[in-house]
Amino acid sequence: MIFITGPMFSGKTRFAAQLLCCGETLPAGRAVTRVQELAAQCADPAALVALADRLAAYEVVVADEVGGGVVPIDPAERAAREAAGQLACLLAERAETVVRLFCGLPTVLKGVLP
């Protein structure tokens, strides 16, 4: 699995589509995006691990980076942000390749690109 992360609107989905040679639209069975939103629905660490295991079956997983800005005052928003960060760590562990995109420029953090 290739895990792609980076700030919002940094070109992650376009880069994933290029990797999968599928034009502008990512194929549903091969790639999944915005997984940080799924993390917010996990009630405990075991649920996050199970989610990471399910997501690792995809060829490409895309997540927005969270935690680089102001810490939310709302406890639920803080918990969702923490869960998203934990999921990103779990996905990076499982990934063969980890890429961070910034301003449309990929930086390989782990492994090699195909």
- 49, burial (CB in 10 Å: exposed 0-12, middle 13-18, buried 19+): middle
Q: CATH code at 28?
A: 3.40.50.300
42 in a structural domain: yes
User: Does residue 114 form part of some domain?
Assistant: no
Predicted TM-score (pTM) of this structure: 0.92
> Does residue 86 belong to any structural domain of this protein?
yes
Instruction: Single out the residue of 75, 57, 72, 67 nearest to residue 5, CA to CA.
Output: 67
Q: How many CB atoms lie within 10 A of CB 109?
A: 13
Q: Is residue 21 part of a domain?
A: yes
Copy the structure tokens of residue 114: 């195909």
The set of residues, in sequence order, having a beta carbon less than 8 Å from that of 50 and lying 6+ positions away, is: none
**Domain annotation covers residue 105:** yes
Quick: pLDDT tens for 58-114: 999 999 998 777 888 899 989 999 999 999 999 999 999 999 999 999 999 999 998
Give tens-digit pLDDT for 41-62: 998 999 999 999 999 999 999 9
Phi and psi for 85 in degrees, rounded to 5?
Answer: -65, -40
On whether residue 68 sits in a domain, the answer given is yes
Range of 68's domain?
2-109
- Sequence-distant (6+) residues with CB within 8 A of 96 are 1, 2, 110, 111
Spatial CB neighbours of 44, under 8 Å, sequence gap ≥ 6: none
Does residue 93 form part of some domain? yes
Overall domain count for the chain: 1
